[in-house]
Amino acid sequence: MKVFRQTMSWVIPIVIGLLIALLIKQFLFQIVRVDGPSMLPNLQNNERVFCLKTAKIHRGSVIVFDANGVDPQVATKTDYVKRVIGVPGDTVRSANGNIYVNGRKVSQSYINNTQRTSGTGNWTLKSISVQNNWLRNSGATKVPKGQYFVLGDHRSVSNDGRYWGFVPKSKIDGVVKVPSWTGTATTRYNVNQEWKHYWAN
C-alpha cells in the first residue's frame, strides 16, 4: 500500500499536468511551425509562433487552418499559415499590385512594391474561381457566410485562396502571434498588429 501511495504521488501530478497541457492546446493556444516560404518576408520557414485559439479574426489577421478539405491536394491534416484578406460578405479584387476589398484599397505595407505585384495579377473572386477551377463556390462574387479569403504574403510562391477558394471558419485553428524572441520588431508588427491598419490612407 505504501508503494502504491508513493507511486500515485508522482503519477497523479503527471496525469494532471498532461490533461492541463491538452486542454490548453485544445482551447487556448498551441505552438506551430511555419513550413515553407509563402509568408516571407514576415514569417520564416521553420519559425515557431503561437496560435491563439480564442483570438478574434480580423481582415489582415494571420491565421492557422487545417488545409485538409480546403486545398484539394491535401489529404491529411496539414496546417497552413496565411493572411486573411476578406471576411464573410466581402468582395475582393486585385489590380496592378493593389488589393481592393469592398471597393476600398487595402494597405499592403507589410510587403514591398515588388512583392505586391509579382505573382498577384489582376483578378476578381469570380474570375479566379473559374480560371483555377475551384471545386466549391465557382463563380462566387463575395466571400460566403462563415468563410474567409486568404493570401500568402509572398504572392509569387504562395498556394492560397486564389487557387482553391475559401477557408471555412470550422477549419481555422486560431490567430498567429509572433513572440518577442523571434523575428524583428517590423515583422512582429506585420503579423501581430497590421490588421489594425488594414485600409490604405
Residue with cell 510562391: 157
Q: How far is CA 156 from CA 35, 85, 87, 194, in A?
A: 16, 16, 23, 21
Tracing cell 471558419 back to the chain, one arrives at 169
CB-CB contact of 85 with 106 (8 Å): yes
**118 among known catalytic residues:** no
* 38 labelled catalytic: yes
Query: Using CA of residue 74, residue 77, residue 81, residue 84, what is the dihedral sign?
Result: positive
Cα separation, 102 vs 119, whole angstroms:
22
Q: Is 81 exposed, middle or buried (0-12, 13-18, 19+ CB in 10 A)?
A: buried
Closest CA to 155 of 102, 197, 97: 97
Catalytic one among 2, 9, 25, 38?
38
**What number of other Cβ atoms are within 10 A of residue 179's Cβ?**
12
Q: Decide if 162 contacts 128 (C-beta within 8 A).
A: yes
Q: Could you say which of 61, 82, 94, 129 is catalytic?
A: 82
Q: Which residues are catalytic?
A: 38, 82
